[in-house]
Amino acid sequence: MRTAAMALTSEDALLLAQARTGDRRAFEELVRRHARAAARLAARLLESREDAEDVVQEAFTNAYLALTSFREHASFRTWVLHITFNLALDQLRKRARRERAIGKERPEGAGFPCPAAGPAQRASAREDVERLRRALDDLPPRQKAALLLKVYEGLSYAEVAAVLGTTRAAARVYVSLARQSLRRRFERLPGGEP
Amino acid sequence: MSAAHKVGCRAWRGRLLLHVDAELPAVERTIFESHLEGCTLCRDALEFHLKVEELLHRSCGLEPDAGFEDRMAAGVLSRIDAAAREAKPLVASRARTARSWRFYAAAAAAACLALLLARGPGPALLEPLPEHGAASNGRAPARAGETVLRADAVVPARLDATRKAVYDALFQAGRTADYRAEFELRTAALAAEDWPIEGIVVAAIKAADADFAAAAIRGAAELSLSAALPALREAALRAETAPAALVALGQLAGDKEVARLERHLADAVLAGAAAAGLARSGSARGARALGNALDRPEIRDLALAALFDMGNVGVGELLRRRAGGDLFAAEALAARNLPSSGQVLELLSTSADPEVLEAALPCAHECGTRALSALRGLVAVPRVRRAALDAVVRIGGAAALNTLLNADACAGLPAGGAIEAAARADVRLAIVRVLRAAPDAADLTRSAARGPWGECLIATLARANGVVQDCLAAVFADSECRPARRAAAALALAEAGALDGPRALAAVCETALLDEDAAALILCAAARAGTSAEHAALLAPLSRATAEPLLERAGVIAARWKNDGIPPLPCEQARLSKLLAQALPRL
């Protein structure tokens, strides 16, 4: 696992070097490698497939325009996730202002569709997943992002910290707070424990 | 559930998430897994977290569809192309935005200077402006360079109308990002040093053009132009300029403006600007207003963000608003947005909210020894006792813990907690003192030895003497204790010549199936204790399949001790061999 991760990072470094010389194919490959993770993060934060895709495209575009300033203190993946996270937060702030102004309700049903799930599978998983989604969506964005990055993306605490722009200790606390809050919120929702 | 078990359970709760993240050290993981077998509370908690992880992985709606990568790659490359095509205008636009108010102010100064030169003394500059568009007199906007160079050509009958026309022209000039024009305008503005910048900015704030006015408002705030306050107040009443004006007012004005901004927090449209203004004010009153807004769900996020933006004052307010169960302070602490160690100290000294205290205690060491007196009080709070003791140890080490344990204030401190903290700090004297004072020293040690710091405790006790031998014997005799810890206690007792050999062989039988290494260690300890071949019958409960590898392992351990320079007791290996020879035929 470690070897695979290191290989991935070294391939990224190679692609990054090529992209810096103007090789657009190399950058396209970087997009293909990391867009999915960025989209998952944005979709969970923004609860909208369209907005998430827009944010991911903007994040990669910004990354491309700032390639020369990327100092490689973190991996390319972490850097792109960091940009995505910040753009998603901006989007959330704008949306909050807009929704407050027009009194709009939060949309139900977030993110990308799940093509693999059949009707029976959906029915059995729906209740738990729906309750988890509701509990998750009530979390503050940073906690939500920290938990998602740690659990779903499998990042280390150091990487989570790099994405959120905070310290490793704070990232650990965010994940911990998210788990504790999630449990409290989850248990309060109809249906009790999972 | 016994009291001792509850203590162990609480101890594990704090480390449960480390287990979920697979970050628990191997030794502790083994002990924890053993604890889980008998603790439904911890097992439920663990199962919940694992279930959530599974649900998160199963959670549909996160995974993009199959053509996602192609779509993204195409979209990103298309955006990059677009950015490349617009690279020059983009840069120009950015430069214009960054210095827009300066540009407008300079341009206005230049234009007015040109007008004055062309026209001589005229009406006051700050007369009310006509409606936007009414002043251009049907003339097409001039280019920026032309505005300056041919100012006399645009002098109309009324100065206001002229000024508006000039503004229009300058606005167009800004849009064309004509650097040459901007350079000329700036040069002209420099020549107008005696022209009061305040007057120009105020005039711009009053302009009907919202973008123009907003640029001037930002400029006024940047220059801290108190002369612009009346104009800003007027601008705050105009819908199109109100947001920028409210932010600037917060920054420029005093308590009266803070009160005005506080009222605007109730306005759905202007709440964001009002919150930003209050944050910019940096005043305690502004922080209190934002703190009050936390109770209103519709602007709670705004207020929270603004309080964080305020820095020390805002986070201080967050910490003060630590109502029961409120996580604001905890989040502030978690984000390491702490204003100062003084805030932490205040929190530790005054808060009664365990949740906030739990969040603050990991930061207690940042206060240094000043925190010790507050921590002394907190060790009496059951929920935070462990964290408080840990903080004491982290700040002052053995000396602080000794002082704490000697203090009258801690007379009620449960000895179990003290033993654990002392074990963590490897404070032998403190442990011995507690154990000597405790009537139930053996029971206390037995329960503490089952906790997460049990190994440390036993290692500490092994270096002590006197009363602690009884405690070690209690640990060794505890069949519910982890075999590895029983083995450590057995070795310490054997070293001190206090291990009962036959009892040790019985313990070998008890632990052989649970932990072969621990059983082998106890067997070695039994050999050290002088167990002879005659006692081999005590190993009879073991099956041959269990005993053979066990005895072989004990031989390896004894040989390793020898290699490691641990002086073997006389005939240790010979005794083991004899045991082996005597025991195996009986099995």
Dihedral over Cα of B511, B512, B518, B522: its sign: positive
Q: Is the pLDDT at B242 greater than 70, yes or no?
A: yes
Architecture of A119-189 per CATH?
Answer: Orthogonal Bundle (1.10)
pLDDT in tens, A129-165: 777 777 777 788 888 888 888 888 888 888 888 888 7
Q: Please, which pLDDT band fits residue B555 given cuts at 50, 70 and 90?
A: confident
Tell me, yes or no, if the pTM score tops 0.80: no
Q: Is the pLDDT at A87 greater than 60, yes or no?
A: yes
SS3 A191: coil
Q: Which of chain A's residues have a Cβ under 8 Å away from the Cβ of B300?
A: none
Query: What's the token pair of residue A66?
Result: 């700032």
Q: Please, which pLDDT band fits residue B179 given cuts at 50, 70 and 90?
A: very low
- As annotated, the residues of chain A forming the CATH 1.10.10.10 domain(s) are 119-189
Q: How far is CA B9 from CA B356, B373, B444, B450, B451, in A?
A: 21, 28, 15, 10, 8
Q: Is the pLDDT at B154 greater than 80, yes or no?
A: no
Higher pLDDT, A36 or B53: A36
- Give the residue-averaged pLDDT of B187-194: 40
- State which fold the A1-103 domain adopts: Rna Polymerase Sigma Factor; Chain: A (1.10.1740)
Of B62, B77, B359, the CB nearest to A112: B62
pLDDT in tens, B295-353: 787 777 777 777 766 766 776 676 666 543 344 555 555 544 444 566 677 777 776 66
In this predicted structure, what is the pLDDT of residue B5? 45
Q: State whether residue B239 sits within 8 Å of chain A by CB.
A: no
Distance from CA of A174 to the nearest CA of B (A): 7
Contacts of A99 (CB under 8 A, 6+ apart): A106
Q: Is the pLDDT at B249 greater than 50, yes or no?
A: yes
Distance (Å, whole) CA A103 – CA A95: 11
pLDDT in tens, B18-39: 778 777 777 667 777 777 777 7
Q: Please, which pLDDT band fits residue A60 given cuts at 50, 70 and 90?
A: very high
Higher pLDDT, B145 or A159: A159
Contact indicator for B512, B550 with CB cutoff of 8 Å: yes
Question: Angle of helix B100-119 relative to helix B159-176, nearest 10 degrees?
Answer: 140
- As annotated, the residues of chain A forming the CATH 1.10.1740.10 domain(s) are 1-103
Check CB contact under 8 Å for B58 and A125.
Answer: yes
Q: Is the pLDDT at A99 greater than 60, yes or no?
A: yes
Higher pLDDT, A80 or A96: A80
> Most B CBs within 10 Å: which of A114, A138, A181, A183, as the mutation test of the B interface?
A114
Of B44, B62, B359, the CB nearest to A43: B62
Mean pLDDT of chain B: 66
- Give the residue-averaged pLDDT of B372-378: 80
Q: State whether residue A67 sits within 8 Å of chain B by CB.
A: no
pLDDT in tens, B491-509: 888 877 788 888 888 888 8
Q: Is the ipTM of this complex over 0.85?
A: no
In this predicted structure, what is the pLDDT of residue B2? 44
Distance from CA of A2 to the nearest CA of B (A): 15
The torsion of the CA quartet B388, B390, B391, B395, rounded to 10 degrees, works out to: 140
| B positions 32-71 inside 8 Å of A (CB) | 44-45, 48-49, 51-53, 55-66, 68-69, 71
